Chains A and B, each alone.
Chain A
Amino acid sequence: MSYWMRMKALLKRKELDQDLEDELAFHLTMREEKNRERGIAGQEARFAARRQFGNLGRIREACRDAWIFVSWETTWRDLRYGGRALAKNPGFTAVAVLAVALGIGVNTGIFSVLNGVALKLLPVPRADQIVSVDQAFHGKVRRNVHGEPGLFSYPEYKNYQTNNHVFSGLLAYAPFLDATALGGENPKQLMGAEASCNFFDVLGERPALGRAFVEEDCRAPGASPVVVLSDELWRTQFGADPLVVGKSITLNRAKFVVIGVAAPGFRGLDPWPSAFWAPVSMQKALEPESDFLNEDNTGWLALLGRMRPGVSLEEVRADLGVIAGRIDRQYPGRTTALVIHRATFMGRPEERSLVFSVGVVVLAAVGLVLLIACANVANLLLARASSRQKEIAIRLSIGGSRWRIVRQLLTESLLISFLGGTLGSLVAFWSLEGIARYVLSHLPHGAPELMWNVSPDLHVWGYSLGLTAFTGIVFGLAPALHATRQDLSTAVKGDSGGIIGRKGGGKLRSTLVGLQVAVCMVLLIAAGLLMRGLYLAQTVDPGFEMKGIIQAQFDLPSQGYSAEKARAFQRELMARVAALPGVDQVEQARVTPLSHQFMGTGLTVGGETQARAFEFNVVTPGFFAMLGMPMVRGRAFTEVETQSAAPVLVVTESTARRLWPGQDALGKTLRGEDKKEFQVVGVVRDSQASHLGQTDGLFFYWPAGPNEQERLQLLVHSKGSDVAATNGIREASRALDADLIVDVMRLEDNLEDWRIPSRIVAALSGVLGALALLLASIGVSGVVSYGVSQRIREIGIRVTLGADGRDVMKLVLRHALRPVIIGGVVGIVACAAVSQVLSGVLYGIGSHDPIAFVGVPLFLLGVAFLASYIPARRAVLVDPVVALRYE
């Protein structure tokens, strides 16, 4: 009823206004007549009626407000008014809009990246029904993990699949399966997945060609060598052959028949696209060194379920929790906590916490940039509001309510923020594709291609919209409240030639400048620390020799090599490589230094009961000499020890110190899980062979015996050119097995992979720091030049009274730089806290790096000085005659 009347009112504005005028006029006439009857004469009768009635204007407005959609009507009026005000002052508008555009654009851009990586639902039909299931164990846990610790074993999957009441289907897949594909010119390294046979059905994905899996494919282990190709593999490997179904492809030396090709848009359930899918029943064929299907306690499968219609996440958690509890009964002392949520890319707990922690840091940084932008615009608005003081004062004094004027001013600031937000977001969306491509092309060597859909969706638009509105209110509210809280009489009189430092808005303005400088300081120091971290990472001495060493990495077990065949292959390859010109040493190691592969195991120190976690490597005797790692105590392994797989080991210096402080480590023993005892025969100097920038972990070396041959890599030292040695090694291995992929590169190239994350971070923080500096210096300079223009008269008086240019300059600069210095100090203190967090992320960086903490503040002070000096010079050039006449 009331809405209908209001709608009508909106359409019949004129008529309604007339009615209201008539109604009020009628009242006044009646009262006037009554007053006459009472004997009040002439004009006085009318005036008395008006007095009795109260403030006509305000009442008229109150009645209208009752009728119209207050928000709509007045908003529209405010918008038009604000639009005119902005158009009248294009310089101000442009600067404000640009500042907001920068701030919001950066934020929106970063958010859409995070959204693309971690918040978007999977690109499958009705993705909101799909949930991911992960597990975390507590208490007494003994478990074999293949991949991430939250994965499930096949029997566990079957248990959840048959006993749940909440899913219309539950699928399992083993992500990140490395496979060598044969069939083309060269063997090709692919990443695929083993999937349960309901995989495509549960996801609702129909293959573009052929068929998906059927239950029959998963019935018996090893019985169904079939594969579904990704669209991309179909194009690259089979030239988009429409008759591909029925043809075969060799994966890890096993023949598979192509039964289908996935739709072009479907690239798997991880950010790293999958090239093919094979049934889980073919696990052993694809990974000959292991047989997971029957292992109860080996995690290797990720689970995703499609919820039945009407089932809530809570019900899923409760239902699966019961099953988890039943499984736990087989493992006394262990409790399983399931982690269940809507499935996204990067949804497993480890990935999630990584994305979350990185996201928080980055969003905080770009949030600070936005804060600086807000402070800028707030300052501009404050300056403008004081030049509009008269207008506002008049509106207030004729009965305009303060709230109405605040709303008017807020509308203007929202207008600015929406203009800026739209501009910034559009530029961000437009440029993001390019940036994403740039980042992707700079990922570490060998990192699989990342698929990254950063195009904006509802989340991003909502975020950008909310941020824009919030921004408009943040930078608009303080100036609006400030502008309407003024002393009416002085404002109307137009006394704006105040004294430096005494003006009302001055304090707020200085606070805003101080805030900008503080935030800018935090960002710049953080950026400085990051850059220093990068510099240190690039110049860090890993503590061992890399020059002239080539590594050759290959995976024999997955290619079906038996232990015996592997031994023969290694022996032959080493002989051929050793014969290459220039090669003077060939050694073997389970993992090559700094290759981002880490081996870990639990060992018990003699005399202790609890096992400790160690990292280890398995190496041949010459390894230490080749890499220039001298023995501090004892000796390296001997040939005899490697050949006989003797129970000996070499520990690092810091390990010896930690385990046996003040004692000689030689002869001490460590006990393996199978109670086998190993004796320390040597202590090697510390190096950063596993993690660049870290030496503190417990680390030991085992001798590479005959039983290790299938898993060893080669390290080759050459006196000649790296290129010749690299090619020589490639040819030698190709001659032995043309189908084996051997990754040959310089050991030094491993360093690059360690530097790339910090290079990306440093680039990002450098850009953000530059933005922050730009915004803050605009802010400082704007405030100083505004201050000068407001005080021209005072400066004129001072000059007339005998002050010279230096006095004036000193006066202006002192006032300009005080908030800068206060803000700077606050920023340094805040950053000291922030850097504690950063130093955990970046290797080799002290959280109190003096160069960043002294250099950056000096730099910022210099920029602030320059930013205030330029407008301050105007003050010096003031002609006192002009200044005194200046209103």
Chain B
Amino acid sequence: MIELFSPAILMSIFTAAIGVSTVILLAALGELVTERAGIWNMGVEGTMLTGCLIAYMVMASTGSPMLAATVAMASGLVVGLLIAFMTVTLRVDHFVTGLGFNLLASGLTLFWFRVYTGGGRPPSYDTIDTLAIPLLSDLPVIGPILFDQHLLTYIALLSVPFISYYLLRTTRGLEVRAAGENPQFLESKGLSVSTRQYGAVLFGSALTALGGAFLMLAFADQFRPDISGGRGWLAIVAVIAGNWQPVRTMLAVLVFAVLDSVAVHAQGLGVAIPYQFFLMLPYVVSLVLLVSIRTRSGQPAKLGVPYLRH
């Protein structure tokens, strides 16, 4: 156990954690915007899984990570369209929609993966490289942790203040929030609630799928069934524990990422505690977070309530 706390290992744990956090952070930011617009999308896990499979197939076929990420985002838009159609247009219960979609995604990705590999060995590829920022990455300690990461990691971290600004300081952001807080008011101003909700769901789903794509491109050289392994659910927990605020949500995501990273390192170091207990940690801690951080003041008033036009 003590070997986990040597400076070199700690450095390695935090460096890996920042990288891993990107997957959950992208999904969490997407879900945050979606929920702020009043749609409680429980289909994050399935959306991420879809992004994983699409990115895998494109990457294995073309070898282009840019193309893989782009097509994965496009698949996220398709998913978002389906979820928005069900929740906004048909007004199916938000929870039921999300659960149904997760089950669909789980079955469809498995089927498509089997068809893709045709019973043979699944193709693999080299994971993408990090992009060290000159000078900054030479700084002691924080250099490698913060400035020798993947391009998408920088983008994800930078989008936290960007999304925060968009939601809290722009008119469009205000309109998105109004869709979740007081849709009648928005409608009375002649602004369409459903347009904003569709937009939020599409944006959130695309970002979530991008998170899945990043998981595939940076950390796995091969798809396997249900590879997203609950990270989509952790994103939802991060939004709740973060009280629907971007920065706090990011902090919650970092907690999960560090635990994830600790588990990987513990496995590699052969710590005496069975590795399965480390793997449980993010899920156990997510419940501890929900029980201990019970501030729900940021929860949109109409979150999960289908809006009916009068």
Do A and B share a complex?
A: no
Chain B residues in the interface with A (C-beta under 8 A): none
Contact surface of A with B, Cβ cutoff 8 Å: none
